Structure 1
Amino acid sequence: MMIGGLVFAADAALHPPPKDERVITVGKALRQSFIDNFDEDKARTPSDVELQKMIDSWVASEILYREGKALGVDRGDDMIRDRIAYKLQLLIFDQVRLPQPTEERLRAWFEQNRARFDEPERVGFYLTPATDAVEATRWLEDIVGGRESEELRDRTRAILARPVTSLGPAFGEKFRDALLALPQETWAKLESKEGWHVVRIDSRHPGEPAIFENVRDEILRLWRTDEARARAWEAVNRLKASYTVRMEP
């Protein structure tokens, strides 16, 4: 009986039961890795929507990997999972055939995605990061009084033609609103989500809406890219329908 038990144990170790290739498990550790890698500066954690997008992307990659292996695209190739998934992704994209869009459809897509073509409002400003509010106050007084030191000049950096839409994510909405409310070429002490700064607006350029005829070629190129990506995702989702995605608690 002991020998028989050892034989069965050895067989089980050498020939484990095959895994269900149609079940994809998204474990707690995997979800945590997405959260940890979302923001290297650890400024914030992803929202539920952002986390779900990362999970969906990983699940799609896992499906492409398994389907690619089933097709044998990994034969003679030692590459990692993402490399195999990428190979099948190229195969899927290669099979996408896009019709020529009508002028009406292209114009409608342009209006839905106008923000990608409009020239945004831009602002140029000087920014000097301070250790705290006290230092920012002292530096502001030195600048206004014409007593700025070499250290202060060295720490001041010029931010040129920055899109206004990028200020909120980078510095915080409160900082953005306060900065834009400043008279041009006036120094002030402002607090951002990064800390205190002494700032001065140097220039502002209003946004300019794009004209369809002037950017038609770029519109067509981006429409084709988006449409091909959407159709490729449809193909992945059709594959996904034959899998079970299990979320561990």
Structure 2
Amino acid sequence: SETDMAAMVSDLVRDEALSREARRLGLDRDDTIITRRLAQKMSFVVSDLAEDPEPTRDELLDWHATHTERFTTPATLTFSHIYFSPDVRGENTNADAADALAQLNGSSRTAPSGLGDPFMLQRQFGDVPIREIARQFGGEFANELSELNVSDEWQGPLPSAFGLHLVKLESSTPASVIPFDDIVDQVRKDWLENSRRIANEQAIQDIIARYTVEIEGVE
């Protein structure tokens, strides 16, 4: 509407007039926030002006081979666990866990559903990355679990951030590098991002080189 348009024009005039007056008075100088904002905008300009190179297949193959950590599926574990709470069992926690382990692996093969204490997470985990296990249970539990052998037997107890656990490690899948041909687009994207970073940093260094930099106190 005409009213909205008039208000927009008024706001624009107000902002432009105040901005010009601030610059006339030198308020834009020695202001860290303004300096950083201008530097940020200039870095965007540098990035926009750069032309992306087109990598060859050999370059991508070399990038994939020399940066395997970027293209590796993490090691995963599939396991079940039974939890024993120190808050509930106190000094009997270790003994109760050991007794349950004997029942689980003994001739009677006691069902695990009737053992242990309630737990805030699930009792079964499938193909979970070790780093995620560490996030949920703590690093000590994840490290000890990853060192166990896959077995039909229950093992432990293993300490976690919550208490003690008996575990049955059902499968362990090691980390593996994804074949190049399966992720060509991902490798190309990663290569381009790195090339842009290098080109942008070189462009910024070229800009810095146009100036004489003097640092007080440094000869």
TM-score, L = length of structure 1: 0.51
In the other structure, the counterpart of 1:152 is 117
Distance verdict in 2 for CA 1:151–1:201, change over 3 Å:
closer
2:144 is equivalent to residue 178 of structure 1: yes
Hey, what's the Cα distance between the residues in 2 that align with 1:244 and 1:141?
74
In the other structure, the counterpart of 2:128 is 162
Hey, what's the Cα distance between the residues in 2 that align with 1:200 and 1:135?
22
Say if 2:79 and 2:125, in contact at 8 Å, map to a contact too.
Answer: yes
Say if 1:118 and 1:208, in contact at 8 Å, map to a contact too.
Answer: yes
Tell which deviates more after alignment, 207-216 or 156-165.
156-165
TM-score, L = length of structure 2: 0.57
Distance verdict in 2 for CA 1:130–1:230, change over 3 Å:
farther
Pairwise CA distance, 1:95: 1.9
1:85-96 counterparts in 2 under 5 A? 85=40, 87-96=41-50
**Which structure has the larger Rg over C-alpha atoms?**
2
Pairwise CA distance, 1:153: 4.5
Distance verdict in 2 for CA 1:147–1:117, change over 3 Å:
closer
In the other structure, the counterpart of 2:171 is 203
- Cα deviation code 1:187-219 (max 9, x no counterpart): 422124x35330332322233332222221221
Q: 1:109 aligns with which of 63, 68, 84?
A: 63
In the other structure, the counterpart of 2:183 is 215
In the other structure, the counterpart of 1:49 is none
- Cα deviation code 1:109-132 (max 9, x no counterpart): 111211222333211223547447
Pairwise CA distance, 1:237: 5.3
- Where do 5+ consecutive residues of structure 2 fail to align? 1-24, 105-109
In the other structure, the counterpart of 1:228 is 196
Pairwise CA distance, 1:154: 4.3
> CA RMSD for the aligned pairs?
4.2
Hey, what's the Cα distance between the residues in 2 that align with 1:134 and 1:88?
64
- Where do 5+ consecutive residues of structure 1 fail to align? 1-14, 25-61, 71-84
Q: Aligned AA for 2:63?
A: W
Pairwise CA distance, 1:224: 1.1
Q: 1:100 aligns with which of 54, 68, 71?
A: 54
May I ask how many residue pairs the two structures share in their alignment? 174
In the other structure, the counterpart of 1:125 is 79
Pairwise CA distance, 1:97: 1.4
Say if 2:63 and 2:191, in contact at 8 Å, map to a contact too.
Answer: yes
Say if 2:46 and 2:200, in contact at 8 Å, map to a contact too.
Answer: yes
